Structure 1
Amino acid sequence: MPGFQIPSISFTVAWWRRGVVAVLGAVALGAVAQPQQSLEQVSRDWLQGAVPQGGQSQDLPLRMEVEIGRLDPRLNLAACARMEPYLPNGSKLWGRTRIAIRCLEGSRLWNVFLPVTVKAWGPAWVLSNNVSMGETLEMQDATQSEVDWAAETASVIAQPEDWVGQTAARPMMAGQTLRQGMVRPPLQFRSGAQVKVLAVGNGFVVTSTGQAMAAGGQGQTVRVRMDNGRIVSGTVNAQGDVVVGQ
């Protein structure tokens, strides 16, 4: 039987950010293809159907681009009258991934995996210059540009209020897209410092002090060793206090 040859193809669709969640649930079982379709057509049609055509409003729309790769050229698949694409366990339609296609009707049944790259183009902030670890980021340090959100696993930091005034968690280079884990709040105190601890309950606040077991910034969770030796965990507030409880 002649083998299938599939060239690399790509197409684009409009996709809203929240559509990603819908895709991952909706395509788990796949949709059965019509008889006599080629593997290339089955793959393309299924992917186009798996990607929502908008439908859910979001402040930051993404322009999706799907690239279908090639099967292993050593494969020699038997002719198949009915094929079913599906999303393998552990795979996501995001970044470099894969889909599976199985033959349901043919002289010899088979199941293959096809490499796919899903790009999600949208607005993000790109560094204009190099930034040293611990340096506080200011508005002029980055410019807005269209980037592929799916190029890395870490989420893009899309809003300026989420990075302006934050400090670099590591050295960063000009041209890098700002993503989660690259910035952190400015330190309110360092490890070993005496900090105020606020134990908050229903209608009461108890104030005490303890020794911070790690450096902390606003919004971060830190552990504090109290004077009696007990260790508590709380969230650093804007004043540099550690709030324990609700």
Structure 2
Amino acid sequence: MKRILLLVGLLLSMNAHADGLAKQVESFIQAQYAGNSNVTEVKVLLRTPESRWPPCELPQLSLSQNARRWGNITISARCGQERRLIQAQVQVEGRYLVAARGISAGSKLTADDIKLKTGRLDTLPARTLTDNAKAIGAVSLRNISPGQPLNPVMLRRAWVIKAGQQVQVMAQGNGFNISGVGKAMNNAAAEDSARVRMASGQIVSGIANDDGTIRITL
């Protein structure tokens, strides 16, 4: 009878350890998405056998800085000087952008061209867009089919300056402003670097503004 009670106690202890680690890992991963309004649900499935779990009840969990936050991931679990690696699968449900209709290459996207869809984010191509602001106003680099998830490699920001056009250059310094006109030497979207050949032949570099002017801070 005593052996049975000891065995039952051991099994309960093991189950409590398993439940405790699973909940700790799940809470740790869910914290990675705190404040992300596009994520609606996060599920974590432990893959590492129990025999390789950390020996303490409250291991210190961490992820490397550049580690993925979903799919098959590796979590560091440290108990004092001992470190174990926990393999887990993270399933993330959330909203992402897809084409609301067919989009031709070279088209500038509007709000009517995109829509939000809900699904498994961890099964989508890397860097699938979730923010409308990163799609509206961008130019399609290829034909995009209806319902296709949107990705930065499909789009580029619209040029505010095109190579060869006349642009106004404004230089600002401590207590002075100087402006002049030159010819743009490269295409540039807002906040991109732009090179300009001035009328004197001098080449200057600055930052493209939304209105197509170039600003130089001295």
TM-score range, shorter chain: 0.5 to 0.7
CA contact (8 A) 1:42 1:85 kept: no
In structure 2, the CA distance between the partners of 1:65 and 1:157, relative to structure 1 (3 Å rule), is closer
Structure-to-structure mapping, 1:118-129, within 5 angstroms: 118-122=91-95, 124-129=96-101
State the number of aligned residues. Answer: 200
- Which residue does the alignment assign to 1:86? 61
In structure 2, the CA distance between the partners of 1:55 and 1:69, relative to structure 1 (3 Å rule), is closer
Quote the sequence identity (%). 17
Structure-to-structure mapping, 1:37-76, within 5 angstroms: 40-50=18-28, 51-52=30-31, 60=37, 62-71=39-48
Of residues 90, 114, 127, the one that matches 2:87 is: 114
- 1:242 offset after TM fit, Å? 1.4
Tell me, in whole angstroms, the C-alpha distance in 1 between the residues paired with 2:78 and 2:174: 58
Tell me, in whole angstroms, the C-alpha distance in 1 between the residues paired with 2:77 and 2:24: 10
Tell me, in whole angstroms, the C-alpha distance in 2 between the residues paired with 1:125 and 1:76: 39
In structure 2, the CA distance between the partners of 1:119 and 1:184, relative to structure 1 (3 Å rule), is same
CA contact (8 A) 1:136 1:166 kept: yes
- 1:79 offset after TM fit, Å? 8.8
Aligned-residue RMSD, C-alpha: 3.8
Q: TM-score, normalised by structure 1?
A: 0.61
Of residues 116, 140, 150, the one that matches 1:144 is: 116
- Which residue does the alignment assign to 1:208? 180
CA contact (8 A) 1:99 1:116 kept: no
- Which residue does the alignment assign to 2:202? 229
Q: TM-score, normalised by structure 2?
A: 0.68
Tell me, in whole angstroms, the C-alpha distance in 1 between the residues paired with 2:172 and 2:119: 43
Name the SS of the counterpart of 1:41 in structure 2. Answer: helix
- Which residue does the alignment assign to 2:10? none
Tell me, in whole angstroms, the C-alpha distance in 2 between the residues paired with 1:165 and 1:55: 28
Q: What amino acid is the match of 1:99?
A: I
Q: Deviations over 1:28-71 (max 9, x none)?
A: xxxxxxx745774344111233234x986x7x363132232523
Name the SS of the counterpart of 1:82 in structure 2. Answer: coil
- 1:212 offset after TM fit, Å? 2.0
In structure 2, the CA distance between the partners of 1:181 and 1:224, relative to structure 1 (3 Å rule), is farther
In structure 2, the CA distance between the partners of 1:187 and 1:80, relative to structure 1 (3 Å rule), is closer
In structure 2, the CA distance between the partners of 1:79 and 1:86, relative to structure 1 (3 Å rule), is closer
Q: What amino acid is the match of 2:127?
A: A
For the pair shown, the structure with the greater C-alpha radius of gyration is 2
- Which residue does the alignment assign to 2:75? 99
Structure 1 runs not aligned, ≥5 long: 1-34
Q: Deviations over 1:1-36 (max 9, x none)?
A: xxxxxxxxxxxxxxxxxxxxxxxxxxxxxxxxxx74
Of residues 127, 143, 155, the one that matches 1:154 is: 127
Structure 2 runs not aligned, ≥5 long: 1-12
The structure with more helix, counted as a fraction of residues: 2
Tell me, in whole angstroms, the C-alpha distance in 1 between the residues paired with 2:158 and 2:20: 51
Q: What amino acid is the match of 1:215?
A: N
- 1:99 offset after TM fit, Å? 1.5
| Deviates further, 161-170 or 205-214 | 161-170
- Which residue does the alignment assign to 1:244? 216
CA contact (8 A) 2:22 2:46 kept: no
